[in-house]
């Protein structure tokens, strides 16, 4: 049963990139609706505990919650935009570098880093250079998409680190509903300032937005969070890495995306490096809802 649930979860998160890339809507609007619908879906489960738990947070705790919500909003704004500018395979591989950014931030804070982890980071960075080099030869737009996806990985890393501090005192559901809510409000503000269309979408686009909320957030990361009770965080992190080839395969089938062979070489290097990092330094148990 656990193996079946793991397969469902990986398919769910893998569908995230292709669904958002195929949705004919502004990136900010997609990000807003994902988080707004996600908040509504989680709210009933958090209703009992959210008020009492949030009262326990001090000023530093609320600062971490606000930072996590802001970083999550920036993550979705940059990554969904990247999906519109470069291939799903490249964007998903780049945003997965969040694991590497966590290691780099820890290193800058003086935490010891095993040699194997440094080696894995170096291999993953080499993969990034390969993909960006290939995309640079194709177009400035594709290269810009790669860089935005990398920024999405950095903001995801900061989101994870801020969220892990809050999760020491607050349950998953309470934290999630507040963080998603803050993220949705910030993305709504971004939509209003940028004056982007938020409602007048085609039926297929609405189905894609609803689909990514169900697949990535309910059947994807929520199931993986459930599996944390019976699987190690390191194994869950390794399973999450399967999102990269999974998204590339689904994009090839449904979006007819066939990036140059160099992109797949870079993707393989990134995956190899991240596997080393995850095995030698288990990732946080708080996972990002892509």
pLDDT tens string for the chain (290 positions)?
Answer: 778 888 888 898 999 999 999 999 999 999 999 999 999 998 998 888 889 998 888 999 999 999 999 999 999 999 999 999 999 999 999 999 988 998 899 889 888 889 999 999 999 999 999 999 999 988 999 999 999 999 999 999 999 888 888 877 888 788 889 999 999 999 999 999 999 999 999 999 999 999 999 998 788 877 776 676 677 666 777 888 889 999 999 999 999 999 999 999 999 999 999 999 988 875 554 445 45
Q: Is 286 left (phi over 0), alpha (psi -120 to 50) or beta?
A: beta
Alpha-carbon gap, residue 47 to 202, rounded angstroms: 33
pLDDT in tens, 168-213: 788 878 888 999 999 999 999 999 999 999 999 999 999 999 999 9
CB contact set of 97 (below 8 Å; sequence gap of 6+) = 124, 128, 150, 153, 154, 270, 274
Contact predicate 130/143, CB 8 Å: no
- The structural domains of the chain, with segments of one domain joined by +, span 2-280
Contact predicate 175/65, CB 8 Å: yes
In the block, tokens 């680190």 appear at: 161
Alpha-carbon gap, residue 136 to 130, rounded angstroms: 10
Q: What integer pLDDT is reported at residue 236 of this predicted model?
A: 74
Q: What integer pLDDT is reported at residue 269 of this predicted model?
A: 96
- Given CA atoms 102, 107, 108, 109 in this order, what sign does their dihedral have? positive
pTM for this model (two decimals):
0.92
């Amino acid at each position: 049963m656990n193996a079946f649930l793991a397969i469902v979860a990986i398919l769910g998160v893998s569908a995230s990139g292709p669904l958002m890339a195929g949705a004919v809507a502004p990136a900010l609007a997609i990000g807003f609706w994902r988080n707004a619908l996600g908040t509504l879906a989680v709210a009933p489960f958090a209703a009992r505990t959210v008020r009492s738990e949030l009262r326990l947070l001090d000023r530093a705790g609320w600062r971490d919650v606000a930072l996590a919500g802001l970083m999550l909003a920036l993550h979705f704004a940059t990554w969904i935009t990247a999906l519109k500018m470069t291939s799903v395979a490249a964007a998903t591989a780049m945003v997965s570098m969040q694991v590497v950014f966590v290691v780099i931030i820890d290193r800058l804070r003086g935490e010891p880093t095993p040699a194997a982890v440094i080696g894995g980071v170096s291999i993953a960075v080499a993969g990034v250079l390969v993909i960006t080099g290939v995309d640079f030869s194709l177009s400035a737009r594709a290269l810009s998409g790669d860089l935005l996806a990398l920024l999405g990985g950095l903001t995801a890393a900061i989101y994870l680190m801020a969220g892990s501090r809050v999760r020491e005192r607050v349950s998953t559901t309470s934290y999630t509903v507040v963080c998603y809510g803050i993220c949705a409000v910030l993305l709504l503000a971004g939509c209003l300032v940028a004056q982007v269309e938020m409602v007048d979408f085609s039926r297929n686009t609405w189905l894609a937005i609803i689909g990514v909320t169900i697949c990535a957030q309910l059947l994807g990361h929520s199931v993986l969070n459930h599996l944390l009770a019976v699987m190690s965080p390191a194994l869950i992190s390794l399973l999450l890495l399967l999102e990269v080839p999974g998204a590339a395969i689904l994009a090839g089938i449904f979006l007819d995306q066939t990036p140059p062979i160099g992109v797949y070489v870079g993707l393989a290097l990134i995956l190899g490096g991240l596997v080393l990092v995850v095995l030698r330094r288990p990732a946080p148990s708080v996972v990002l809802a892509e």
